[in-house]
Amino acid sequence: MSERFESEAKRRSEIAERRDGALKERLEDEIKRFGHEEKAEKWRKYFKTRKGEYAENDRFIGLKMPEIAAYVKKYRDIDERQLGELLRSRYHECRSIALSILCKRFDSGDEEKRKQIFEYYLNNTAYVNNWDLVDISAPTIVGGYLFGKEVRIIERLARSDNMWERRIAVIATQAFINRGSCKEALAVAELLVNDDEDLIQKAVGWTLREVGKKCGMEAEEDFLQKHFKTMPRTMLRYAIEKFPPEKRDYYMGK
């Protein structure tokens, strides 16, 4: 009896896998019809997909931004299984469409729906695997959900071995900065101030610059006075980009 039950469960699982695979191919095929190879080649270079680069083997269809927006509108009401297939697609634009839909559902959802989307997002960070995918989704879903709540999850992401999860932690704090709270961003910056990855250095530097704009230069400069002599130069350049020339020279040691 047990063997028969296990055999039937396995059969149903295989049928579901084939069905989901076919669904994903249909969604991808529909989107691919409007791709542009010259644009796809441009994106492959821009998003560093060559061997050894941070997005090695990521695939692009070559959609333009208005076309992506049109698909977000077209697919906004697809069911969760279809949305999951888009998010797990091998094509960058499909993942971008899925994340944009998730953000729209988060914005319009009640607290319970937002919690579900937040947890789903954290369980699928493997597919939020390029800087633009992080940047369009982390402030809304992670920052938006955690504002006013316990933020240890952000610090856990900042300590991750996965570069994209660390970037999620940094970029998520934009939701706090926009609401006038900068302590979360500064805490994450402390954890990542010596990060080796260029994309993290840029994200932290940009975030520090936003701290200065939204919460006052004193808050940013308190951090810089502690770290500017040892923090990566890329991070520092982004952080002081809007400073007066003489102050930039000071921090750069000129």
- CA gap 236, 239 in Å, rounded: 5
DSSP-assigned letter for residue 230? T
pTM: 0.88
The type of residue at 91 is: Y
Q: Is 80 exceeded by the pLDDT of residue 143? A: yes
Q: Which residue has the higher pLDDT, 55 or 138?
A: 138
For the chain, give every domain's residue range.
12-108, 111-125+132-254
Q: Is 80 exceeded by the pLDDT of residue 37? A: yes
pLDDT for 157-173, tens place per residue? 999 999 999 999 999 99
Cα 180 to Cα 92, 140, 146, 157, distances in angstroms: 33, 16, 14, 22
When pLDDT is cut at 50, 70 and 90, the band that residue 28 belongs to is confident
CATH class entry, domain 111-125+132-254: mainly alpha
Cβ(35)–Cβ(61) below 8 Å = yes
What radius of gyration do the chain's Cα atoms show? 21
pLDDT for 63-114, tens place per residue? 989 999 999 999 999 999 999 999 999 999 999 999 999 999 999 999 999 9
Average pLDDT over residues 228-238: 97
- CA gap 86, 93 in Å, rounded: 9
Cβ(94)–Cβ(31) below 8 Å = yes
